[in-house]
Amino acid sequence: MSRKQEGFRSILIFGGAGFIGSNWAHRLLDTTDAKIHIFDNLSRPGVRYNLQSLQRKAGNSGRLQITVADVRDAARVEKAVRFATEIYHFAAQVAVTTSVNDPRLDFDVNLGGTFNVLEAARKCERKPFMLFTSTNKVYGQLANRPVIARNSHYEFLSGTGISESQPLDLHSPYGCSKGAADQYWRDYARIYDLPTVVFRMSCVCGPRQFGTEDQGWVAHFLYSALHGRPVVIYGDGRQMRDLLYIDDLLRAFELAREHQSKTRGQVFNIGGGAEHAISLLHLIAEVERLTGRTLDYAFDERRPGDQLLYITDTGRFEEVTGWKPEVRPAQALKKMYDWWKRNREMFPAAETAEMSPSMTAALEQLSRVA
């Protein structure tokens, strides 16, 4: 479809300066004539760099609008939604540990903020296409899917990946807030005829991701090795995850919209699948091979609600849209490493940033071992 044939697109991205949002905005600026509206409170580390990059790309085109505000502010949300033809909701409190320490904040941002977006869309009566990124954490510890331990990874005792038929098990305040939000998002399609789509996502990685030990673990491991900082592994390191490179996710966004007659009101599990799965220990080995640097790490107890193994069954979305993930973990890591080499000026502040208590403990442990 040509740009002229698409018609006018006014695209609002909540959390648009973050990892996924900024990559999506870059893609839209490159491949469409759409007007892009970034709505972000700029609270995440590194997002100001992402915003500056978007401003440079947009230049004087007039296609980029920026609102610095919080999704908890219903009035600001309603004002932003008023003229949108598409809404992508990525703004969230993203860490399980933060949700445990401050469940009220988690509730207000993830559920209250999502409700604000939905209500604003309902009131504007434009029926914009709406996509929400949820999480595999809504499935909890997967108690009905026993695993067996191999030398360097876990695998399911039987069966393959996790499909949308997996029962919800909202474990942790984060799982509860995101799970409730994705149910609201889905139900607004049924009750108010809004074309909403939910993606329950596995681990997404790629450029413009400033990972921490709570979120963005692939970036966290890679950049920690490059900056000479230790990491903490919660558990034995054999935990397995399927990785999805950001460009594959962006293609999924495009296809969800193009096929909205079939995707509206639906929930899809989105991830790399079995062919793109890797354990923490395997990823560490790959980081060290790629960079030539050793990643120092210490072990700690597995955190409540952590899944030993999560691999996505993406069959339903593939059947509806023809999508398949293409970038393998080693390729994704190489792309991230190359991006880091081109943007090293973004990272010095991170090297001197205050470390979390677990990071400090890990450093002390490594010092004792040495």
Structure tokens at 336: 């991230």
Please give the Cα distance from 233 to 235 (Å, whole number): 6
Compute the distance between CA of residue 273 and CA of residue 234 in angstroms, rounded to an integer.
Answer: 23
- Residues with catalytic roles: 174
Tokens 């007039």 locate to: 62
- Provide the angle, in degrees to the nearest 10, between the axes of the packed helices 329-342 and 280-291: 50
CA distance 22 to 219: 16
Rg, Å, the chain Cα set: 20
How far apart, in whole angstroms, are the C-alpha atoms of residue 257 and residue 243? Answer: 23
Give the pair of three-digit tokens for residue 349: 């502040």
